Amino acid sequence: MQPTQRFHTFREDFREPFARDRDRVLHCSSFRRLEYKTQVFLNHEGDYFRTRLTHSLEVSQIARTLSRMLGLNETLSEVIALSHDLGHTPFGHVGGDELDRLLKEDGRVLGFEHNFQSFRVLTKLEKRYKEFDGLNLTFATLEGVLKHSYPYKKPFLEGLDARFALDKHPSLEAMVVDHADEIAYTSHDIDDGVKYGLISFEELLQDELCLSVDAMVQEEGVARGEPLYRHRFVAGLIKLLVEDFIVHSKVGAETYREEMPICATLEATQKLPIGFSKEKASQLKRLKKLLLTKLYRHEKIVRKMHAGKQCIKGLYKAFREDQDLLPPHQKALLDVRTKERVIADHIADMTDRYAMKTYHELYGLTLQ
């Protein structure tokens, strides 16, 4: 006879709180939609390029490594990283900037800000429970998503000021995510930019930090011009920045762990206990300035982003003029939220391709 199988029913959640937060984020609709939201290159350009989803995964991986090496809460950093871009609109930052402009033109002082929108996704826009809105996440996760490394005192957050201490720094785990985000997007934008032919290594190697990475790659025996060079260069850049961050942050993180309770926030006047060395921070700043000039303002990028901006503008205008164009579940919210906020939430929720498809249906035009 086969032994009788016994199935256990867990009355209490057996996960620790931040692991529960992570699982709730991973299974929510907004996280899945990141797959078709632009990072820098429009999603339909090709399957190779990063999206908001792959970017969030890369940030999470780097943040976990940094937190583990510094003795911080790895799972908290992971869930903040996975959640930090949930509020982004289609078409990257230009989509959010255009939506912000349109809302302010309509007299909505709040406008649009992607940090706060990510917070709203987690606390209000995702619906998973009958009794309340949001995903029911911990305070530390929500604070980490709302803030980055510095105080986040904004005029439109008056109701949250007392609860989230917006005039203070966030937890060290949130600061780790902020720096992991910087490492991730700098390295993968170079990878995508070189792959797409928008920036060359000849241009990049005018930069001091890139020359240091080049020396590391050459020591491995990989010469410039080899197919493997780009991959080793990107890996080397991440390694260089991660190692600098860990070495320069160890003492500050140890002091913080000894003197502060877990996830404690710091006063705005306190010096950040973790971060890059002064030298690497300056080098990274100069590299980002080079990427802004040579990559992010490249004609091909600007043209695509202009098309995306026109899409956001057209969708907002159409929904503003006729609310019957909104889906039923969005129309139902007009009784409890302002028309402009419902429209902004609906547009921010869209993927790039759904936004373009809707624009085409409304105007009979295809954005190129």
9-30 per-position pLDDT tens digit: 555 677 899 999 999 999 999 9
Does residue 253 lie within any of the structural domains? yes
Give the pLDDT of residue 53: 95
Copy the structure tokens of residue 250.
């160890």
Between these two residues, 195 and 164, which has the higher pLDDT value?
A: 195
pLDDT level of residue 367 (50, 70, 90 thresholds): low
Give the pLDDT of residue 256: 81
Burial class of 25 by CB neighbour count within 10 A (0 to 12, 13 to 18, 19+): buried
pLDDT level of residue 121 (50, 70, 90 thresholds): very high
Does residue 2 lie within any of the structural domains? no
Tokens 């000021």 correspond to 161
Does residue 12 lie within any of the structural domains? no
**pLDDT greater than 50 at residue 263:** yes
Give the pLDDT of residue 172: 92
Does residue 91 lie within any of the structural domains? yes
Average pLDDT, the chain: 90
Does residue 6 lie within any of the structural domains? no
**pLDDT greater than 60 at residue 5:** no
pLDDT in tens, 28-43: 999 999 999 988 876 5
Give the pLDDT of residue 100: 94
Q: How many domains are contained in the chain?
A: 1
Does residue 368 lie within any of the structural domains? no
Find the mean pLDDT for residues 288-304: 93
pTM over 0.75: yes
Give percent above pLDDT 90 in the chain.
74
Give the pLDDT of residue 166: 80
Does residue 272 lie within any of the structural domains? yes
C-alpha 239/C-alpha 77 separation (Å) is: 19
Find the mean pLDDT for residues 158-186: 87
Give the pLDDT of residue 8: 47
* Residues 111 and 154: beta-carbon distance below 8 Å: no
- Domain with 211, as residue range(s), is 17-363
pLDDT in tens, 193-231: 999 899 999 999 999 999 999 999 999 999 999 999 999
Copy the structure tokens of residue 72.
């911080």
**Which residues sit opposite 49 in a β-bridge?**
none
Copy the structure tokens of residue 147.
């803030």
**pLDDT greater than 50 at residue 7:** no
Q: How many CA within 13 A on the CB side of residue 88?
A: 27
**pLDDT greater than 60 at residue 308:** yes
Whole-angstrom CA distances from 3 to 6, 9, 10 are 9, 19, 22
**Domain holding 160: CATH number?**
1.10.3210.10
